[in-house]
Chain A
Amino acid sequence: MHRFSVALTSVLHAQLVDHLVRSDGDEDLAFVVWKPSMGGSRMTAVLSEVVLPDAGDRHVHGNVSFESRYFMRACDHAARLGGGIALIHSHPGAKTWQGLSSDDHAAESGHAAQATQLTGLPLVGLTFSGGNSGYSARVWTRAAPRVWEPQWAESVRVVGQQMRVSLPKLADNYDARYQRRTIEAWGEERQHILGSLRIGVVGAGSVGSQVIEALVRSGVGKLVILDYDAVEDHNLDRILNATVDDAEAGYFKAEVAWRAASRHATHPRPTIRWSASSAIESEGLALLKDCDLIFSCVDRPAGRAALNALAYAHLIPVVDGGVLVTPGRKVMRGAEWRAHVAAPGRRCLECLGQFDAGLVQADRDGLLADPTYLAQLPDDSPLKRNENVFAFSAAAAAEQVLAALRMIVTPAGIADAGAQTFHFALGTVDFDSRGCDSGCMYKDMTGAADTSGRPALHRHVAAETSRAKTQARLDERHRKQATARASANRWWHRLAIWHRGR
C-alpha cells in the first residue's frame, strides 16, 4: 500500500481559515477538490480548490452537518476537473493532530463509497485544528465489502513563502544526544519537522555533496540522492567526501554521497537512498514525487525544467542555486552564486532565468554534452562555463540550505528573503522578491498535480550514456578483480602442493 500525504498552497490554506474559523466558535466544514500526485511509494492528495457551501448546504449547531445536495455538487465539480473530493471540518480549540470521533468516523466512512464511485478517486478526510491552524488527514480505502477504513497521512504540508508541516506525532524524529545545540537554536518542534521531511537532492557534485552533508548534520533523516555521473579526477577539488579511490574506481557521485551521508547522519533512524537516474526518467521522477522538499543542484535545463514543474504542479518546493565564475585573462574578474526557492507565491526558475526552455530538448537528446553543439552557443552561455572553486560551491550550498531553513524555521517570522545573488568581488548581495511574470506557464499549473501531465517522462541520453560508461568501467574492474583472485588462488594451490611435497 502506498504511503499517503496531503499538500495545499498557503493561498488555499488562507481561504480555508477564512471559512472554518468562525466568530461564534462553532465547528464548520467544506468540501475541497484534490488531485493525485503518485510517487513511487506515496500518494499525495494535492488540494486544489475549495467548494464553499451555499445557503442551506450545511447546518452549524455547535457541531456541523451537511445536506446531500452539497456533497453531490462537490463530487460533480471534482469529477469534471479530474479530481477527487476531500471533506474538511474544524475543531476550533484543538492544537494537535486530531483523531476521529465516532461521529466524524461515521460521516466520512458513510460517504467514502459514494465519493469513490462518483469521482473515481477515494474520499480524503481532514480535520482543521483551530488552535494552531494545523491539519490531520486520512484517505478512506475499502477494507472489505461495505467496510471503509482510514489510512492516516504521514504529513500535511502547506506550501507558499513559508512551509508549514502538520505531523501525526512529534516523536523519534531526532536524537537529543546529537542535536542539542541545534535544538537550542530553533526548538524541538522545528527539529521534529526537519527530521520528518523526505528531502530529495538532485545532483551530488560540488554543491549537492555539501548540501547533503549540511542536511544530515542538521538532523534530516529521509534523503533521496540522484546523480547519474561518476566521480572523475577533475571533480576531486570540489566534491566533498569523494576520494582518489572513488575516482579510480569510477563510483557514481550519488553512491559516494550516500556512503558519506549514511556515516554522518545524526537522525536516529536514517533512511537514505541513492539512484543513478535523472529527474526526467521514470525511476528518478517517482523518487522525487515521494519528497516534501527538493534541492536542485544541477546546472542543466532539462532537470531544472522538470523540477520547476514539480514545485508548482505538485507543491514540492525546489531550492535551487548555482555558481558562475568569470575568470578573466590574467586576473580573475569575479564570481557569483545564487540561492532561491521555487514554490507557489515565489518566482519560478524559468522566470528567474535559471533555464532556457529552448535548450531543454537538446539537453534530453544529449547535445549539451556534445562539443560540436556547445561550440555554436554564445561564448557567455552558462552551459559552456565549468570554472568553479570549492569555496564558491560551499557558499552556494550553505545559502541553499539556509533558504530552505528560513522557509521552515521562519526566524523572526520571516520565511522568504527573496531570490539572492552573492557577489564574490564586492561581497554584496542582490535580492529579487518579484513573483512570476504574467502568463507564466508554471504558475498556471499550481496544484494540478498529475492531471497537469507535468513533468513528462523523457529519455535522457546523457544519463544513459553516463550509466553505460560507468557500468562498463565497474564491470572491467570486477573482471580484473576476478582475474587477480583466480591468479592468487592458482599460486596458493601450487604453494600448497609444493608444501605437501616437502
Chain B
Amino acid sequence: MSVLNVDAAARGPDEFARQLNLLGITGVSVNGSWVSFDLVIPMGAYAGATRRIAAEVPVDFPDMPPPGPHVSPPTIHPAGAVHASALGADWVYWSRPTPGWATERSVRAWLRHVRSLFAQVTSA
C-alpha cells in the first residue's frame, strides 16, 4: 500500500487537497467539489511552465478518481477530447479517464496521469 492511501473515513475533495499538500503541490484551493492547484509541467512542449489545474472530485474519492483535468489557461491537446469547462472561458476540460486506478487510488496516480497527458503535447 502507498503511504498516500488513507483510512476509510478520509474521502472526497478535502482528502484530495490533503494529498496534494502532502506532495508539496502549491496553490491548493478547495471550493465545494472543485480542487484547484498549480502544476509545473515536467515534460513536453510546456516543460517548465506552470498551469492551473482543477479537478471536480467525487465524494467517494479515493475510491473513484476525478474524471479528467480542467486546465487554465486553455491548452490544446493533440489527441483532442478538449471540451468547454464548467469553470468558464479561462479553462478547458481534458476528458481523459485515469487508467489503472484500481492499482493505486491516490492523487499521486492522478497527477501521473495529468503529467502523461502534458508529455504528449509536443508542440505549443
Contacts and interface: CB of A to CB of B under 8 A. Distances in A.
B1 interface: yes
A441 B63 contact: yes
Nearest to B57: A361
A361 B64 contact: yes
A454 B60 contact: yes
A456 interface: yes
Contacts of A214: none
Contact of B11 (A359, A362, A453): A453
A359 B63 contact: no
Interface residues of A, number: 29
A270 to B, nearest CB: 35
Contacts of B8: 445, 452-453
Given A365-B67, A376-B79, A359 B58 contact: no
Interface in A405-442: 437, 439-441
Contact of B64 (A360, A375, A377): A360
Contacts of A452: 8
A269 to B, nearest CB: 38
Interface in B34-88: 56, 58-60, 63-68, 79-81, 83
A476 interface: no
Contacts of A437: 102
A386 interface: no
Contacts of B56: 361
Contacts of A456: 59-60, 63
Contacts of A360: 58, 64
A356 B97 contact: yes
Contact of A357 (B9, B11, B96, B102): B102
Contacts of A356: 97, 99, 101
A458 B58 contact: yes
Nearest to B55: A361
Contacts of B98: 357-358
B77 to A, nearest CB: 10
Contacts of A227: none
Contacts of B101: 356-358
A372 B79 CA distance: 13
A350 interface: yes
User: Most chain-A Cβ atoms within 10 A of its Cβ — which of B64, B80, B95, B105?
Assistant: B64
A367 interface: yes
Given A350-B102, A356-B97, A373-B81, A361 B67 contact: yes
Interface residues of B, number: 27
B79 A358 contact: no
B63 A454 contact: yes
A225 interface: no
A439 to B, nearest CB: 7
Interface string A305-318: 10000000000000
A304 interface: no
A458 B59 contact: yes
A234 B115 CA distance: 42
A420 B74 CA distance: 47
A367 B59 CA distance: 18
A289 interface: no
A376 B99 contact: no
Given A362-B95, A362-B97, A367-B67, A372 B83 contact: yes
A364 B95 CA distance: 14
A445 B105 CA distance: 15
A454 B11 CA distance: 11
A364 B60 CA distance: 12
A212 B80 CA distance: 42
Contacts of A361: 56, 58, 64-67
Interface string A451-471: 011111010000000000000
Nearest to A363: B67
B65 A376 contact: no
A347 to B, nearest CB: 13
A437 B98 CA distance: 19
Contacts of A372: 81, 83
A303 B96 CA distance: 20
A367 B81 CA distance: 12
21 contacts: A305-B64, A351-B102, A356-B97, A357-B65, A358-B65, A358-B97, A359-B97, A361-B64, A362-B67, A362-B68, A372-B83, A373-B95, A376-B80, A376-B95, A439-B1, A452-B8, A453-B9, A453-B60, A454-B60, A456-B59, A456-B60
Interface of A: 305, 350-351, 356-362, 364-365, 367, 372-373, 375-377, 437, 439-441, 445, 452-456, 458
Given A358-B65, A376-B95, 8 more contacts: A305-B63, A356-B101, A357-B105, A359-B67, A361-B58, A364-B58, A453-B9, A455-B60
Interface of B: 1, 8-9, 11, 56, 58-60, 63-68, 79-81, 83, 95-102, 105
